[in-house]
Amino acid sequence: MAEAKVTENDPSSMVAEKTLELKNELQRLVKALIEDEDYTVEDETFRVLSSLKCLKFKKSLSFKLDDSLTVPDEFKCPISKELMRDPVVLATGLTYDRPFIERWLIEGHNTCPQTRQVLPHTVLTPNHLVQEMISQWCTEHGIELPRTSQDVDDKVIRAVDEGYLNSLLEKLSSSLSDQKEAAKDIRLLSKRTPSIREYFGRSTEAIPKLLNPLTPGDASIHPDLQEDLITTLLNLSIYEDNKKIVGENPLAITLLVESLISGTTQTKSNAAAALFTLSNLDSNKLIIGNSGALKPLIDLLEEDDLQVIKDSANAIFSLCMCHENKRMAIKEGAVSMIVKKMKENVLVGELLATLALLSAHQLAVDEMNEINVMPLLFRIIRESTCEKSKENAIAIVHTLFCNDRKKLREIKVEEANNASISKLSRTGTARARRKAMAVLERLDKGVFITHTA
């Protein structure tokens, strides 16, 4: 009788029994999903998976705590009352062990287990400080370090994350309040969880569901909802395998372009950043250029917010690496806008790089000659502390001089007064020295020709 009692109360036996029970339940649910196509059991399936993960944590706990050793309360999960293996921070700022708080959330709770406060979002952030403190405490007491959830069962975590994401995507077809709440959670998930970014690349339905609340030309879209969804597109575009699927989605590109015009300051910045990131894939450059993105990107250079200007400048530069886009950018006023901002000392280095890129096109050369950018370029060569900026400036001077010998007098005056090109020919980067020497050689020939004439 005594032995039977011990077996009955043995924790490992109880865990094994509960595990078998959950596995049998999971088999039934999977059968219903596959054979009967009963998708109403999807949430229940994820709940069981989460419960199994928690039990597996308990089963994998190979270290033993001495009865006299007391675990500090701050190292215990408020739910399991056990030493935490993967501490994460909930939106309320309280720390829980990941598998147990995940199970709480999967079961449909939208509040903090301790404070009962309604959660503004359900994203879990790793608590690296507490993790380090637990590791140090375990080492000091000769206890085997607890394994994190990734060590135990990454597939279960991925299933839970993706199940949670799918529930959020479904909410995007609901009321505005549900849409806003879900969009904010998806935005945070896409930023912090790599597996979520990967999932969007694998699923054919995820991106259309994400964009469902946004309609091209709809001026009534809630600005917060627009910002969260556009920012999610930015987060997704960072993942290399997503660039093609997002770039080739006409709705995604259209909405990004519209957001450059109609969004909040943050939305404009993130939309420009998304277009820049997507354009890193060469096949996307022309797609984005043909979408009408260049004009609003150029217009954003007039914004007051420096981050918006910087994101737009980066996108313009990347897109103009495609020859067809150079012509479009020039026709949309890129040259005059860039020169204007450079004269205002706004992002001179970045914009000068784009101007140098555009100078390979004759239309840009003609326009720069018309508005006379030479004094600006000379000033940069004289005063800039950035060697790359000096290099780009002398490269443009060389191009303009080769195209229009009327620039001869301006260069002679600059050399006579400041000898800036001569100095650059001795002290600049290798490319800057070559361009400066080429200008000086043409200058010498020009002087000779003018003299004999």
Count of structural domains within the chain: 3
Domain match, 284 and 162 both = yes
- Mean of pLDDT values over 54-69: 51
CA distance 197 to 192: 9
Domain match, 277 and 168 both = yes
Of 146, 175, 193, which residue sits at a domain end?
146
Supply the pLDDT for residue 187. 93
Domain match, 160 and 280 both = yes
Domain match, 128 and 169 both = no
CA distance 120 to 180: 11
Q: What is the CATH number of the domain that holds 137?
A: 3.30.40.10
Residue of higher predicted confidence among 175 and 47: 175
CA distance 295 to 273: 15
Supply the pLDDT for residue 214. 93
pLDDT over 70 at 36, yes or no:
no
Q: Which helix (H) or strand (E) holds 366?
A: helix 362-371
Q: Which of 26-40, 249-263, 367-381 is predicted least confidently?
A: 26-40
pLDDT over 50 at 151, yes or no:
no
- Mean of pLDDT values over 385-400: 95
Supply the pLDDT for residue 52. 63
pLDDT over 50 at 3, yes or no:
no
Write 86-90 long-range contacts (CB < 8 A, 24+). 86/126, 86/131, 86/148, 86/149, 86/150, 87/126, 87/127, 87/130, 87/131, 87/134, 88/124, 88/125, 88/126, 88/127, 89/124, 89/125, 89/126, 89/127, 90/119, 90/124
Supply the pLDDT for residue 251. 95
- Is residue 398 domain-resident? yes
pLDDT over 90 at 305, yes or no:
yes
Instruction: Copy the structure tokens of residue 28.
Output: 């039934």
CA distance 424 to 427: 5
Give, rounded to a whole angstrom, the gap between the first and last alpha carbons of the chain: 122
Domain match, 286 and 271 both = yes
Other C-beta atoms closer than 10 Å to the C-beta of 52 total 20
Instruction: Copy the structure tokens of residue 58.
Output: 């308990």
Residue of higher predicted confidence among 68 and 346: 346
Q: For the chain, give the number of residues.
A: 453
Q: What is the CATH number of the domain that holds 284?
A: 1.25.10.10
Domain match, 383 and 439 both = yes
- Is residue 59 domain-resident? no
- Is residue 9 domain-resident? no
Supply the pLDDT for residue 70. 83
Supply the pLDDT for residue 5. 36
Domain match, 82 and 156 both = no
- Is residue 339 domain-resident? no
Supply the pLDDT for residue 69. 72
pLDDT over 70 at 37, yes or no:
no
pLDDT in tens, 97-134: 988 888 788 767 888 999 989 888 888 899 999 999 99
Alpha helices in 374-428 (DSSP H): 374-383, 387-403, 408-418, 420-427
Domain match, 189 and 126 both = no
- Is residue 254 domain-resident? yes
- Is residue 50 domain-resident? no
Residue of higher predicted confidence among 234 and 20: 234
User: Could you tell me if 217 and 257 are in contact, meaning their C-beta atoms sit under 8 angstroms apart?
Assistant: no
Q: Which of 11-20, 78-87, 203-212 is predicted least confidently?
A: 11-20
Provide the mean pLDDT of the chain. Answer: 85
Domain match, 190 and 102 both = no
Domain match, 139 and 170 both = no
Domain match, 140 and 169 both = no
Domain match, 159 and 289 both = yes
Domain extent, residue 209, equals 151-298
Residue of higher predicted confidence among 231 and 91: 231
With cut-offs at 50, 70 and 90, classify the pLDDT of residue 159: low
- Is residue 36 domain-resident? no
- Is residue 343 domain-resident? no
Q: What is the CA angle 352-354-358, rounded to 5?
A: 115
Q: Radius of gyration of the chain from Cα atoms?
A: 31
Q: Is 0.85 topped by the overall pTM?
A: no
pLDDT in tens, 281-290: 999 999 999 9
With cut-offs at 50, 70 and 90, classify the pLDDT of residue 43: low
Of 241, 267, 298, which residue sits at a domain end?
298
Of 298, 321, 340, which residue sits at a domain end?
298
Other C-beta atoms closer than 10 Å to the C-beta of 371 total 11
Supply the pLDDT for residue 47. 67
Judged by DSSP in three states, 344 sits in coil
CA distance 281 to 97: 40
pLDDT in tens, 369-383: 999 999 999 999 999
Q: Which helix (H) or strand (E) holds 185?
A: helix 176-192
